[in-house]
A and B are shown apart, each in its own frame.
Chain A
Amino acid sequence: MTTREYDIIIVGGGLLGCATAYQLAKRKAGNILLLEANEIASQASARAACLLTRARTKPALMELVQETYDCIAEIEQLLGESLELQQCGSVTIASSEASLKEVEALEAAAGRFGIPNERISRERTKELLPWMEVSAVDVALYMPTDAFIDSALLCSGYARAARALGVELRSGCKVKRIVAEGDAVTGVELADGTVLHAPLVVNAAGSWANLLMRPLQVGLPFTPVRSHFWITGIDKERFPVNHPFTVIPDARAFTRSDVGALIIGLRESQCQSFDPSTLTDKLEDFDFNQAAKWQVLDEGAPLLKRYLPDIDDLGIAHYMAGPSCYVPDAKFIIGPVKRYSGLYTVTGCCGGGVAAGGGMGRLAAELMLHEEPFVDPALFVPERFGEVDPFSAEFQKRCADARSNKKGG
């Protein structure tokens, strides 16, 4: 049995773990180790829709997203290579009173934050989105500076930048448990029995985070909920490369370009949560319910049909499902876990890990290093729901409902 001292150990090599590692390293937080059970950026972070929507109505979210954009620029500088941010712009579509209100709120938020935005005509909408049936569009809000990014590339960008700044990355290294003595964490024990010591441990294990918390009798207030998208066959005329992504609240849908095909994200009316204790070590082995591929599309197609009339007969070349970690109030979980000194968490992405990851990592780093936080940390306190049992069906449903009732795409 070997031991080794670190200042900080981060468990999880997904977007949130890697972003936190980067933000800590940038702040010269000491000797940092990041542990990933599989490969870096290979799990949920490789299955995301990858939208970086700037304008938001939830508090602090715009700051967190802006931080991600800033990180991307910094990392490209640091590594001397492009992370291939695709600045395609976005179009939010309203076809009802309710969605018009959302668009107005987004306009106000964008205005406050200085994000370029304009309402565009149906003709202009058709130019930008050749596939769309624009007669269904009442209002289209265009934000030309929005972008998307390959989430796995972004994640490995955080990781490589962190490594360049001195963080030790270990993949294929599964953490068996977080070790605590009394009410203080002292390190982690690996699957092979090795114990690694550190006074600070960050649980950024995403969908698996509660499995690590369970022996410590801590329940983080989230559960994995299925998110998914469909990719059509390639048709570069209809789905031009890098045309704007869309958010269509009236269809509970988003779309974005994917090298000449269209990615369609749909949210079912009753989202599917998963008991974390049923998770497999690798998501590729996990059954997200393969039948959902067509059942959910079947449910969502009637709403989407107004905008994409041939959805029923459109060839669907691929389907991707992955877990998003949803919290009942659809806000992130960032900060110290009160029950143990030295234990921190950054999780509960609520489908926003790509867009907000850089900011979430920054807030986590600031809290760990006792710096002045750049957004209000009270919003993200892990204990804000009191004691919860993430392994109970009742709590899992609360989390699934947070996604079912999500506004926008």
Chain B
Amino acid sequence: MKRYIVFLKQVPLSTKVEMDEQTKTLKRSSALCQTNPDDLHALQMAVTLKRSTGAEVVAVSMGPASADAVLRETLQRGADRAVLLSSRAFAGSDTWCTSLVLAAAVRRIGEYDLLFFGRMAIDGDTAQVGPEVAAHLDIPQLTWLASVDGVADGRLRAVKLAGRVRQQVEVSLPCALMVGRENCALEAPTLSGWRWAQQQEVECWGEDELGLSPDEVGLYASPTRVVTTEVPQREKEMVWLADAPALAAVLRDAMQFQNK
């Protein structure tokens, strides 16, 4: 049977960060989490494809124990199996280390046909982890996917965007797909799905299960390091436009920027 592996990340519900005016420090008001939106679309694409091709859909999330909620949701939404990658040793991993851990998880899961990633996470906005996992595993990658047109005979046909061109490509399996919100609509989850998900096991793997040394992952092994973070000064004062011609001028500017 085919196997599709989907990667999902738990992210803060709100990316809003405020500057405390008095103390000049960061203030995050919400403690709530969600599954990264693009990742849910990646899951949906895997589950939808599974209906026509048959496959086991394995959902994988790297994060703290609370990421269990993300995996329960994947089970409710159609995943067959869920794996949590959780260890203190993973803390502080940048995209390079994160992709190393995810690639190790893929190897442990075994044979696979497709990897599904959300295009970008709303808390990091890097769009790097999917392509980096593909590189670690030395498999083709489909970034900026426009559509998947079919999977047959060990090959996948798809359309991808590459700047000003749209490429129709055929790629041999296994390969990695980066899925965006526009690629498929989410199906609404059901209560019976939730009930089933509550009864499933979520496997939990740390660096030992993945055959990684703690020195290969986490803060110390990550090539990049955050030096400072700060809230940008917002000079986002709204500009009143005098009339329709002024609006037309703004519109033209905005469109020129976009056409770059």
Contacts and interface: CB of A to CB of B under 8 A. Distances in A.
Direct A–B contact in complex, judged by CB atoms less than 8 Å apart: yes
A225 to B, nearest CB: 20
Interface in B170-200: 187-192, 194-195
Contacts of A285: 14, 29-32
For the residues of A in contact with B, the DSSP-based class is: mixed
Nearest to A315: B188
B116 to A, nearest CB: 21
Interface string B14-27: 10000000000000
Contact of A298 (B29, B69, B187, B194): B194
A298 B193 CA distance: 11
Q: Which 3 A-B residue pairs are closest in the complex by CB-CB distance?
A: A315-B188, A285-B30, A317-B188
A284 B16 CA distance: 11
Interface string A273-302: 000000011101101001000100110010
Interface in B31-60: 31-32
Contact of B29 (A280, A294, A316, A317): A280
A281 B187 CA distance: 33
Contacts of A232: 188
Interface string A259-271: 0000000000000
B29 A281 contact: yes
Given A280-B29, A284-B14, A315 B192 contact: no
B14 A294 contact: no
B30 A284 contact: yes
Interface string A312-355: 11111100000000000000000000000000000000000000
Contacts of B29: 280-282, 285
Interface in B186-233: 187-192, 194-195
A99 B32 CA distance: 39
Given A297-B191, A312-B195, A315-B187, 13 more contacts: A233-B187, A282-B29, A285-B14, A285-B32, A294-B194, A297-B194, A301-B191, A312-B192, A314-B191, A316-B188, A316-B190, A316-B191, A317-B188
A311 interface: yes
A298 B31 CA distance: 25
Contacts of A312: 190-192, 195
Contact of B189 (A301, A311, A315): A315
Contacts of B14: 284-285
Contacts of B191: 294, 297-298, 301, 311-314, 316
Interface of B: 14, 29-32, 69, 187-192, 194-195
A176 to B, nearest CB: 13
Contact of B188 (A233, A282, A284, A311): A233
Interface string A144-185: 000000000000000000000000000000000000000000
B88 to A, nearest CB: 25
A298 B188 contact: no
28 contacts: A233-B188, A280-B29, A281-B29, A285-B14, A285-B30, A285-B31, A287-B31, A287-B32, A290-B32, A290-B69, A294-B191, A297-B191, A297-B194, A298-B191, A298-B194, A298-B195, A301-B191, A312-B190, A312-B192, A312-B195, A313-B190, A313-B191, A314-B190, A314-B191, A315-B187, A315-B190, A316-B190, A316-B191
Contacts of A298: 191, 194-195
Contacts of B187: 233, 315
A280 B30 contact: yes
Contacts of B32: 285, 287, 290
A234 to B, nearest CB: 9
A233 B185 CA distance: 12
B71 to A, nearest CB: 14
A209 B189 CA distance: 37
A396 B190 CA distance: 32
Given A285-B31, A285-B32, A313 B188 contact: no
Contacts of A301: 191
A170 B32 CA distance: 29
B42 to A, nearest CB: 19
A232 B190 CA distance: 10
A314 B190 CA distance: 6
Interface string A221-248: 0000000000011000000000000000
Which of A232, A282, A294 has the most chain B CB atoms closer than 10 A to its own CB? A294
A236 to B, nearest CB: 15
A35 B190 CA distance: 41
A314 B188 CA distance: 8
B189 A316 contact: yes
Nearest to B190: A313
Contacts of B188: 232-233, 315-317
Which of B29, B30, B188 has the most chain A CB atoms closer than 10 A to its own CB? B188
A44 to B, nearest CB: 17
A298 B198 CA distance: 12
A134 to B, nearest CB: 22
A284 B28 CA distance: 12
A294 B188 CA distance: 13
Contacts of B69: 290
B199 to A, nearest CB: 13
A357 to B, nearest CB: 28
Nearest to B76: A294
A287 B34 CA distance: 12
A314 B194 CA distance: 12
Contacts of A290: 32, 69
Interface in A92-112: none
B243 to A, nearest CB: 24
Nearest to A233: B188
A311 B30 CA distance: 32
A313 B30 contact: no
Contacts of B30: 280, 284-285
A313 B192 CA distance: 6
A316 B73 CA distance: 13
Contacts of A317: 188
Nearest to A301: B191
